[in-house]
């Protein structure tokens, strides 16, 4: 029997700075726009709600306390109203959704995780993944996750997996998804990735800065080629409203604006099982004259491409690294998928085992 063939949408968007609720509304609007254009899978960037902590890359930690309070206030609960609204919208539009969030938890007022949710077209959460290790300056905001979310969502569209940003550099995390038969791999990214501050007088600002555009594509393409799967690179956008919002919280708004505006924006695009770019269609903000393009970078938009999972088969004949091209007698990978909690009360745990994936009542 033939494998599924469907349209997927990647949303290249900026959050509404200062408001998780308004960013949620914007997210739902783009879900509906994608569904109106026949998309059945809709993908959003890393920490799409409420946004990414770019400030930690350019200001000293001692000056970042107000930003951390902001993130603690605007991060969302997985069982909170924002995610419930998105689950409801997924059910109503009949789309599978991959969404990056900054997640807060009920047991602490300030423990946050860089998380990604895969929500089914029935509105239920299929995968709840917390980034295994915050990268570089992200450690000032987020805590390390666990292996609970190293799962693929087995949907009617196919087997869908997701990793967050730097996790796509981790070969064991990637292999864990490959070994579950992953057919579509989602990699989510921030808009910019500052590792060096620009020097006054440089002809090219930020010379020597990490090249997030090239590095993201190399990692995503390598995974597609190794797994023989389709890839969706989904990056955020740092727009002028976000830059202004961040700048106004610093002691030197002009300097902050100049610095944040100097870095290249990451790309949102689709890759085939050979790691090659797929031609895609821009359906928002304009639907009257849809543009044909390979990626979105410096402007918001919804990008749609058709994924034919039958194209995942041929390459497996050459290199099926979890099957016919694997030496299971030589290599053995063990993954701990226990969800970590700060305390387990044994008697209560026996009587009331925790439900690790929240379910909610939805209406069609």
Q: What is the pLDDT along the chain (364 residues), one digit of tens a residue?
A: 899 999 999 999 999 999 999 999 999 999 999 999 999 999 999 999 999 999 999 999 999 999 999 999 999 999 999 999 999 999 999 999 999 999 999 999 999 999 999 999 999 999 999 999 999 999 999 999 999 999 999 999 999 999 999 999 999 999 999 999 999 999 999 999 999 998 776 655 556 788 999 999 999 999 999 999 999 999 999 999 999 999 999 999 999 999 999 999 999 999 999 999 999 999 988 654 455 678 999 999 999 999 999 999 999 999 999 999 999 999 999 999 999 999 988 876 666 666 666 677 777 6
What's residue 296's pLDDT? 95
What is the rounded CA–CA span in Å between residue 320 and residue 323?
5
What is the rounded CA–CA span in Å between residue 307 and residue 305?
6
- What lies within 8 Å, CB to CB, of 272 at 6+ separation is 224, 230, 231, 278, 311
What's residue 78's pLDDT? 98
What's residue 187's pLDDT? 98
What is the rounded CA–CA span in Å between residue 97 and residue 40?
9
What's residue 111's pLDDT? 98
Residue 72 gets which letter from DSSP? H
**CA distances in angstroms from 259 to 195, 238, 253, 256, listed in the order given:** 12, 12, 10, 5
Adjacent-strand bridge partners of 277? 271
Query: Taking the complete model, does pTM exceed 0.85, yes or no?
Result: yes
What domains appear along the chain, each with residue ranges and CATH number?
Answer: 5-318 (3.60.110.10)
Please report, to the nearest 10 degrees, the dihedral formed by the alpha carbons of residues 177, 181, 183, 185 taken in order.
Answer: 0
What is the rounded CA–CA span in Å between residue 272 and residue 291?
20
Residue 139 gets which letter from DSSP? G
What's residue 130's pLDDT? 98
What is the rounded CA–CA span in Å between residue 220 and residue 274?
11
What's residue 289's pLDDT? 46
């Amino acid at each position: 029997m033939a494998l599924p063939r469907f349209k997927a949408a990647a949303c290249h968007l900026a959050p509404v700075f200062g408001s998780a609720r308004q960013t949620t509304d914007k997210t739902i609007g783009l879900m509906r726009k994608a569904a109106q254009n026949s998309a059945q899978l809709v993908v959003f960037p890393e920490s799409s709600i409420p946004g990414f902590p770019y400030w930690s890359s350019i200001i000293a930690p001692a000056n970042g306390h107000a930003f951390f309070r902001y993130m603690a206030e605007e991060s969302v609960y997985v069982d909170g109203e924002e995610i419930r609204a998105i689950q409801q919208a997924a059910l109503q539009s009949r789309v599978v959704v991959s969404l990056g969030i900054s997640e807060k938890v009920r047991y602490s007022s300030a423990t946050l995780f860089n998380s990604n949710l895969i929500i089914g077209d029935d509105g239920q959460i299929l995968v709840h993944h917390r980034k295994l290790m915050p990268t570089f300056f992200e450690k000032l905001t987020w805590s390390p996750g666990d292996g609970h979310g190293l799962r693929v969502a087995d949907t009617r569209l196919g087997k869908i997996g997701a990793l967050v940003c730097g996790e796509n550099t981790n070969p064991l995390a990637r292999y864990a998804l490959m070994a579950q038969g992953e057919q579509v791999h989602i990699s989510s990214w921030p808009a910019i990735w500052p590792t060096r501050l620009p020097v006054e007088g440089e002809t090219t600002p930020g010379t020597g800065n990490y090249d997030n555009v090239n590095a993201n594509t190399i990692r995503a393409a390598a995974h597609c080629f190794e797994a023989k799967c389709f890839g969706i690179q989904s990056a955020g956008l740092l727009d002028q409203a976000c830059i202004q919002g961040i700048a106004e919280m610093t002691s030197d708004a002009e300097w902050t604006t100049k610095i944040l505006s100097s870095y290249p924006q990451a790309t949102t695009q689709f890759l085939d099982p050979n790691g090659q770019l797929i031609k895609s269609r821009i359906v928002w903000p304009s639907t009257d004259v849809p543009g044909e393009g390979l990626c979105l970078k410096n402007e918001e938009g919804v990008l749609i491409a058709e994924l034919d999972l039958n194209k995942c088969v041929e390459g497996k004949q050459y290199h099926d690294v979890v099957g016919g091209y694997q030496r299971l007698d030589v290599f053995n990978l063990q993954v701990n998928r226990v969800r970590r909690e700060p305390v387990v009360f044994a008697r209560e745990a026996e009587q009331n085992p925790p439900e690790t994936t929240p379910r909610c009542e939805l209406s069609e």
